[in-house]
Structure 1
């Protein structure tokens, strides 16, 4: 069955189209913990990596962790090539990308030094008509600015009907703030997340479309 008819599609990357092996997440948080002199449990690592607790900065503050120190430590220990090697494309996302006959772009919080090796290794770069990596200058979802930048790069008309699909509430928020439909894909289950994310549609994988 073909996906719903939109004039263009925007997608989050990590947790939506691709994900990483659990062993990589564990190794990263072991090294971050060494720098912060704090051990992260498997559940804490999973919560932060996948954003299961909502906004990650809020979760860090709730745990008494300095936000700036955490992100500095995380970026310092991540190896782009190792991360790319541990990243896989969801099967349902692969089928979805092959089925869409419309402009399609990515809006991700993943920085270029991490996103680029993933796109190259999984042979995804040519599949997208636009890739926007959020920054402090561009804005972070749910700010609509990076979404609007992606729309501009797609070159679609103002009357075009679009959608943004992502695995976090900030993705749906960014969609709504930019005047798009927002679809939430729940990769982990509401029981593990502990709450439900609102959206124009809520799916468990792209096959639900």
Structure 2
């Protein structure tokens, strides 16, 4: 494909454009495990952090962890400033977005990362102005693969019913949200598929955004 194939672009955040240092992730899950009385292995922490098993709530239930107990504890143990300082930007993602800006393409963000974390991350990396809209999923708005957050972002971009769009993300929920909203999808696989334990099918499957034609 060529970047010029689409009139507007939407992106997931964590695992797609940015990632957190493993030491931060491990520390959060250690503290969450202490509070829940249930330790998390390295694999379990990675599966939940990156959503490698699909819907995180389904994964939690499979492990007999009630989502209503897990998420309040998890968010309470996240420190926005420490999270921001531990987060780094993928070079290939930066290159693509700069290329989109040069082409004057609208660019939006649709993320499961909560607003109290997303804001500090974008500010710390100095990339908030890269996005014409930032949509953080909530219980009220919906969670990917629900198309509602994606459609909200499209309205915010002012491109509803105009041109063709694509959503790029690192998980099955991103692909599902794109398709449910009538967009094409790009799956960027930043993990070994064998470790993920499943193959994610998107309209385009890449391991780096440099795989896309410019």
Q: TM-score, normalised by structure 1?
A: 0.97
Q: 2:17, 2:38 → 1: CA distance?
A: 31
1:27 matched residue in structure 2: 27
Change (3 A) 1:123 1:2: farther
- Residue 106 (structure 1) shift: 0.2
Alignment of 1:148-167 (within 5 A): 148-167=151-170
2:82 matched residue in structure 1: 82
Change (3 A) 1:72 1:157: closer
| 2:110 equivalent among 107, 112, 115 | 107
Q: 1:137, 1:157 → 2: CA distance?
A: 21
Contact 1:172 1:182 in 2 (8 A): yes
Gaps of 5+ in 1: none
1:135 matched residue in structure 2: 138
Q: TM-score, normalised by structure 2?
A: 0.95
Gaps of 5+ in 2: none
Q: 1:38, 1:136 → 2: CA distance?
A: 26
- Is residue 171 from structure 1 mapped to residue 167 from structure 2 by the alignment? no
Contact 1:2 1:99 in 2 (8 A): no
- Residue 65 (structure 1) shift: 1.1
Alignment size in residue pairs: 209
RMSD, matched Cα: 1.2
Residues 42-80 of structure 1: per-residue CA shift (max 9 Å, x gap)? 111111111111211111111111211111110111000
- Residue 105 (structure 1) shift: 0.3
Contact 1:106 1:131 in 2 (8 A): yes
- Is residue 189 from structure 1 mapped to residue 192 from structure 2 by the alignment? yes
Alignment of 1:8-19 (within 5 A): 8-19=8-19
Q: 1:2, 1:171 → 2: CA distance?
A: 20
Q: 2:69, 2:199 → 1: CA distance?
A: 30
Runs of at least 4 residues of structure 1 off by over 6 A? none
2:60 matched residue in structure 1: 60
| 1:125 equivalent among 118, 124, 128 | 128
> Residue 19 of structure 1 aligns to a residue in which SS?
strand
